[in-house]
Structure 1
Amino acid sequence: MARVYLVLALLLTAFWVYSIVDCALQPPTRHRGVSKPIWLLIVVLLPVVGGVLWFLIGRTRRSSAPRFQAPDDNPEFLGRISTVSDQDERIRRLEEELAALDSEADDPRDRGHVDPPSTDDDSGEQTRGGRS
């Protein structure tokens, strides 16, 4: 029977230490009822009962934390994205930049352009280094 009491005392001591650490590490916003220092005093001075009170009354649930929301379901995110007219303006500017780049690429001076071979007679045949 002494072994049972010893194991029970060890478990209750572990619970007491765990409740002290949990109460001390929780941010002050997660404490209900009284302030954080008061909860620490309750848990330390009333070893098992203080721990039980802490977990039942003093500690808030994790479910109150904000959950992840998909961007298309989050009104705050939807309000921050740009409007369609902003996107249309950006597309127009990008198209103008691309057209300017294309016109620069078509300029023969930029590419070291060589004139096409010339024709010598009226038949339209091209002449090369030798006779035709």
Structure 2
Amino acid sequence: MLRYLPFLLVLALWIYAFIDCLNTPEEEVRGLPKVVWVIIILLFGEVLVGPVAWLVAGKRRHAPAGGSTPSEWHRSHRSRFVAPDDNPEFLDSLKEDKKKDEALLKDWEADLRRREEELRRREDDQDKG
């Protein structure tokens, strides 16, 4: 089992560097265009040159600003998530969906009434005839 460990570590580093490169915004990539870094990681992944080069030289690393701890820096720079029940756009979309569903239901009910009336007329015509 231990003989597979180096292969798995190389594979894990290769996958990590590839995904990290793909998820890095273009303005944070150093030295080469992002596409070139992806090609380098893919072509030289087995020998660790590509992933290590990406991790060392490819991505601009941010230091914590103002002496703050890394967790404080990440908290201040992450995107602001708004819960769905606090998001007015989401609530408006729910109201619109509800209106559309009610209109669709009314159309279906009207269509059902029309078909029932047609069936009654046919049955009445057959009984008379």
TM-score w.r.t. length of structure 2: 0.46
TM-score, with normalisation over the residues of structure 1? 0.45
**Bigger relative contact order (CA 8 A; separation at least 6):** 2
